[in-house]
Amino acid sequence: MDALKLIAQDSLKADVSEAIKVGNTVRIQVRIREGERERLQAFEGIVIARKGAGVSETFTVRRVSYGVGVERVFPVHSPNVDSVELIRTGKVRRSKLYYLRDRVGKAAKVKQKLG
């Protein structure tokens, strides 16, 4: 088991951003491969969950696009996740914000942490 952990250590990103906290609004630049070409695609939304540990750690980002809720799960240490940029810090008291799925409009907002 320790051998697996040693191999996994090589693929961990050293600078895991503090931006990936539940309640924060983030913009993720994801590498998209289309044929032989590669481009970056932005996905902006609220981090509603973090799961796992080590190499298998993931975070879920939710946004509302054209009136439809869209959620994507990103691996924290994936090479396809180019960068995570912090847009707003959120003030929350839960580790999972699944209740935002049932909310519409302004009720689905998270208060901003000041200072």
> Is the pLDDT at 7 greater than 80, yes or no?
no
Fold annotation for 2-100: SH3 type barrels. (2.30.30)
pLDDT digits (tens, 9 = 90+) for 59-95: 999 999 998 999 999 999 888 999 999 999 999 999 9
CA count, 13 A, side-chain hemisphere, 100? 27
Q: Please report the beta strands in the chain, taking only residues with DSSP state E, as ranges in sequence order.
A: 25-34, 37-51, 58-65, 68-75, 81-88
Helix, strand, or coil here: 115? coil
d(CA 56, CA 62): 20
pTM: 0.86
**Domain ranges in the chain?**
2-100
Pairing of strands 81-88, 68-75: unpaired
